[in-house]
Structure 1
Amino acid sequence: MNEQRTRTIGGWFRDRRIRTKIWLVYMPLLLIPFLILGYAGNAVYSNAIVDKTAKSFADNSGLIISRLNGMLGNVESSANMLSLNLNRAISAHPDSSADFNLARYTAITTQISLALLVFPDVDSAVFIDTSGRVYASHPKLEEKRPPDSDAIYAELDATNGINLWLPMQRRDYWVTDEQTPVLTAGKKIIDIQTGRTLGVLLLNLKESRLSAVLRTMNAEPSARYLIVDEGGSVVSASRDDALLRSVEDAELASWIKEHDDATSIRSIQREQMLLTIRSFPMLGWKLASVTPLSALTTDLTQIKLTLAIVAGLCLLLATIGVTYLSQWIARPIIRLAKSMKGFQEGDLDERLVIDSKDELGLFAAGFNEMIRRMKGLLANIKVEQKQKREYELALIQSQIKPHFLYNTLDVIYALSEMGRIKDVQRTTKALADFYRLTLNQGREMITIEQEVRLVQDYLAIQHIRYSDVFTYSIDVDPGIMPHPILKLTLQPLIENAIYHGLKLKREPGRLLIRGYRSRGLIVLEVTDDGVGIPGEKLPALLRPPADPSEEKEGSFGLRNVNERIRLSFGEQYGLAIASEPGRGTTVTVTLPSVEKNGVTTDD
């Protein structure tokens, strides 16, 4: 096997041109080392940068999560501290009347303000007692009561006093800035002595505090961090354009959903990206980073440019060397190859002109004599092929004429059996007119106008017998009437439609013959609404059977018409059959648009 492969490669190299052989030997020796060195260096350096960056992002993500966990822990610690302090403040100033209790209000707001001083990560806080009174760290938070405050109160009241985190959202109530999203921790305040509910506490953490951490701890300017919740929405990001919306890129969103702690390189929006993700178990969030690989490998541009310059210089030197060797060694052979190329392309009128008396001169003389003999042989083959086509066409036509005559005589016989003497006379007259046009002084090619007359005579014959089986109409564009067509092209198609389509139908059918010009071609259609043909049988209708004894009458006529057209006009013309069982069949004839003088038109 190896010996055969080596022999094949050697034969291929032997058949190359001299200049190509020089290039194939000289260029690889020069360029391959540079290409290997450049590719290996680029791959190793790129992989090292990507691996180092991926590890750096993974470590950095761990630090970010630790910082965010600390912030969230401060919020929960603030809630726990306020739970105790509010117990003392409320017990010291009980709500004894429906009037505003200034001492109680001052005590509660003072505890809230002290908690915010101790835990600066908390932006604002609100306490709602069981009477619905609001005590806040800022008067603005007390101005507006939300329509769903009862639902929020009920959700917190249903807990046993644990901290409950509400989703990151923008709100126009219980916040100091309506445009800034906030993350809210809620807690039910319970009297530690009696266990009764004192109210609910809400602590707000601005999203800007989270995104500030993402931006501050992002060492790569082109990278962006996203914090995504369980529903796939971005709750915080180093860039504000994606905040509180689903991850825009579907592939990125799918990757984030499927992974908890992973690193991968993916194509995001037609750009290679380094993706890292770490889980954020405290709130069920995930921290993801997205970094363009192109930004990580910017230093490779200078290396690639240097390699490209070196390779270009090598290519230039190699080109100069190949050109010199070609002129010195291969010029006579190249001139001979250029002359022979014309012969390969089919131009048998050129001759090799080499005046020398050496081996090349002898070769040129022998080659010129061979071309002269080939031209003579080709001329003889063309004559023989033309005669063969004419014999085949005559044989097929002789098969069609008796085929039609037998069927027509059957019609006349049937009419006479039924005693329809007038119909016999009209049928005989139509048959005479039909054969008068068919004989046509022995010519096989007639005009479409004459073919239409043949069809009209034939349909007159068939309609006399099958008047209750079908009706017919003929619609042929007068502009195509002068164009040539083979005699008896449409008649076998119409006969097949009647006997194998309409006759088998349980109710009267319709036959339509159309002719028109389309895209520079002549198109004739025979359409019936008969029983149709199963789809699996259509390909076999125009294909000769393996056993001639199995030839069916319907397919015989169709196949003969198709073969006659292809023999006369070319392989690209002929019949096409479209049928649907129960709906009918359409047989389309495609012919070239040829004028009377035989020149194809351009319309």
Structure 2
Amino acid sequence: MKRIVSRVKLWYRNLSLAKKIHLSNLAVITILIIISGFFANRVVNDIIVKRTLNNSKQGLNNIIENLNHLLDDVEKTCQELVEHKKVQEVLSKPKYADTPEGWDNYVVVRTIMENITSMKTVINSASIYGIDGRLVGSGFINTNEFPNHRNLKGELVQQAFEGKGDNIWLDNNLVPYQIDISADQSITMLKAVMKSGISTDYVLGVLEVKISQNIFSKLYTYLDYAGVGRFIIVNKQGMIIFPDKDNSFYDNLVKENFVHLTSNHEITGRVYNYQKESFLISSNRFERLGWIIIGIIPLDDLIQDNKKVTNIIYFVGVICILLQLVFSIVMSESISKPITDLCDSMMSAAQGDLEVRVNIVRNDEIGYLSKTFNKMIDQISQLMEQVYIDQKKKRELELLSLQSQINPHFLYNTLESVCSLAQLGRTEDVFSMSKALAMFYRGALSKGRNIIDIREEIKNIQHYLTIQKIRYMNNFDYQIRVEEDILPVKIIKLSIQPLVENAIYHGIKGIRGKGKIWIVGRKKQDTIIISVIDNGIGLKEDQLHEMLLNINNRLDKHSFGLRNVDERIKLYFGNKYGLRADSRLGKWTKVDIILPLNYDLKEENR
């Protein structure tokens, strides 16, 4: 996995700037469109589901309200029947329908029932029984069939008696979880007929009313869900009492997922997954009969229109991607072309064409880069010219240094001293001077090297002082004290000799008595200081100031040796290094060489 990620990163880094802009914009807008479409689909789906749930619950509430209104109307009609004077009279002295008088009573009661219930289309039949359960009168309002039962079951009579005039609703003759309900099956209400005008609970008989199940078909319009949903009614025994047509798929869905609602009082609405399909199921409880009314809607049918909206979003997204590509090409061209031109100019400059310049036509970041590039090329050109001048100057200084190294006056004076010593028979001094002269010039030449160790420079100065001390007949002494740890540090060749020569000719040569020269080398923080001190005539303050000016004045012919050393040190190490002088008239003069302690100085062999 890491290897794949590394390859992708490498591939992306190697793309051109224009392709990176195209790819980045395409990736961003594609991801945004996909995310927007996804969340838009989710949000709209949630809104549709919530609204449908609310509508479903409202529809269920409407069904329950209509059922309550319908049953209230039936109960009011039944109350009118049981309180009717003629019904009370017939029940007080019952004559059953199997006798002539009973038949007359039956006809009277039936006529009363038909008159009272003729406008109640939901009532299929109404029957009145005596206290022993035998039929007293019956009227089938919405059917021509004669009653096929003569007696009311004892347990129903007992149940009505115990109700003492209350309305008792029953959904009888139903087989658990069967949809095949015969046409004569219906909902039944039992009501005990109580004796009017008597305060005690005196029961005259029982009223039985059967309600047609067509009422559910009439109520179905409240929960039609635009033709994609349906509702199911389950009684408190777990029996499906509506619909009356076989639809095992929905029946199994209810049994497996929602029938538990018949055993508790949960009123809910949620999405269920069943057989790889999703359904929006809501429910409410009809407390009067202990029923659960369940609404079922296939979710795919419900959100079908939302899928169309999502497809439109993605279609618009594709168009946006195409427009973005066109915009990205135009935008990247306006960005990448100036950068490409700038890169071409840089390549030309890298190949040595310092005349190249970028044409600046904009003031944005790219324009700023172009201005900076042109300024950089100008500075490089100036630096190249300055380097050329410095190199030329360096070679001139090296040539002058070489000329001073083989100063014919110094060589002539030394050889003349050697001859004089030889004539005087001072063979030991002749040997010492000749040996010192040879060693001095060997060190001065240094096999063509310009950079040597401080140790070598000190040895060369010792040879030089040996020669001068013999020439001046031991008229001065010298002392060299250099810290051991700075001896390996590099120094420019013949940096100390001009200072010593200056101390001899302009310092101790003009005093009476014996002169002395000290050469001291020490480390101070990140610098090295090599001091040449003499106890000569010293300098006045104005003379010291003039000497310092002469060191820094390239056109002055005086103090050439000191100026030569100072310029060479600055050329190699920088302007913060070089010579520093101080003096007290009639007492001493000191000239310091300031060098860096740590400097990666490359030795040049010329």
TM-score by length of 1: 0.44
TM-score by length of 2: 0.44
Which structure is larger by alpha-carbon Rg, 1 or 2? 2
